[in-house]
Amino acid sequence: MERIEEMWGHLKLTKDEDEPIELEEEAREEVHRKCEWCLIGKFYMERSIGRAIVESTMVKIWRVGKQATVKEVGPNVFIITFSTQMDKKRIEEGRPWSFDNNLFVIKPFDGYVQPNMMKFDNALLWVQMHNLLLVGMNCECGERIGRSLGVVEEVEVDEDDVGWGTFLRVKVLLDLTKPIARRRKVTINGSKFWIPLKYEKLPRFYFKCGRILHEGNNWQQSGQQEGEAARFGL
C-alpha cells in the first residue's frame, strides 16, 4: 500500500483530484463522542489476524463487563469500542497485552491520523531492576534509571516512596525499535554497580539485535534459548 501511494505521489494530479474537500466540524461530533469509548491497537505478528479471532480471544481474556466491539481499520490494526469507561481504563492500564506471545500495542484513539500513518512503535512494559542497593530502591532512583530506558509512567513504591523488595518495579514506555537493555550501570558513593533488568510479559523479539520491531523474520520466542531469555525477561 505504501509503495502504491508513493507511485501515486509522482503522478500529475487533475484539477478535480487536487481540489480539497473541506469536512465540516459538525459532521465529526458523533465520531468524537464515540472515540471516548475506544482504544486502537496493532498486532505485531508475521501472519494476518482477523477480527473474529480478536473478538473470540482478546475480549474473553480481558473479561470486560459488557461486550466490546472490534473493527479492523488496517493490516492487524483494530479499533476496540468498550461499553463502559471502567473496562476501557482497566485494559489501558493493564498493558502490555499479547496474543500467542506476539505483542498487541494498544494506545488511545486518534481519529486525525490516517490508519496507514499511525505509529505503534512504543509500548508500556514493566521493568524489574534487580540487585539494586537498598538505598537506591526508591521512587527517585527508579525514575532516574527508568528514564535511561524510555518514558517513566510509574514506579511501584510504598506511600513513603520506598520500594524495598527483591527488585524495584518500574513501568516504562519503551521505543520498540531500539535494542532491549539488559542492564544499567549505576554509581552510589563513588562505587559502580551493574543492575540486571528483566521485563515482564516480554513478547517475541529478535535475538540477533535484541529488538522487538525489526525488518526481516529472524525472531525467536522470548521463552526459547533460555540462556539468552533469562537476561532479557521473564
* pLDDT tens-digit readout, 122-144: 999 999 999 999 999 999 999 99
Determine the pLDDT at residue 208.
72
Phi, psi of 31, rounded to the nearest 5 degrees: -65, -40
* pLDDT tens-digit readout, 78-93: 999 999 999 999 999 9
Are the beta carbons of 7 and 58 closer than 8 angstroms? no
Mean pLDDT (whole number) for 36-59: 88
Buried b (16+ CB within 10 A) or exposed e, 182-218: eebebeeeeeeeebebbbeebbbbbbeebbbbbeeee
Determine the pLDDT at residue 101.
84
Rounded-to-integer distance, Cα 95 and Cα 74, Å: 21
Instruction: Work out the mean pLDDT of the chain and round it to a whole number.
Output: 83
Q: So what CATH class is 2-7+25-117?
A: alpha beta
Are the beta carbons of 127 and 184 closer than 8 angstroms? no
Q: Which residue has the higher pLDDT, 10 or 115?
A: 115
Model-level pTM?
0.75
How many CB atoms are located within 10 Å of the residue 23 CB?
8
* Inter-axis angle of helices 85-93 and 51-62, nearest 10: 90
In the chain, CATH 3.30.70.330 covers: 2-7+25-117
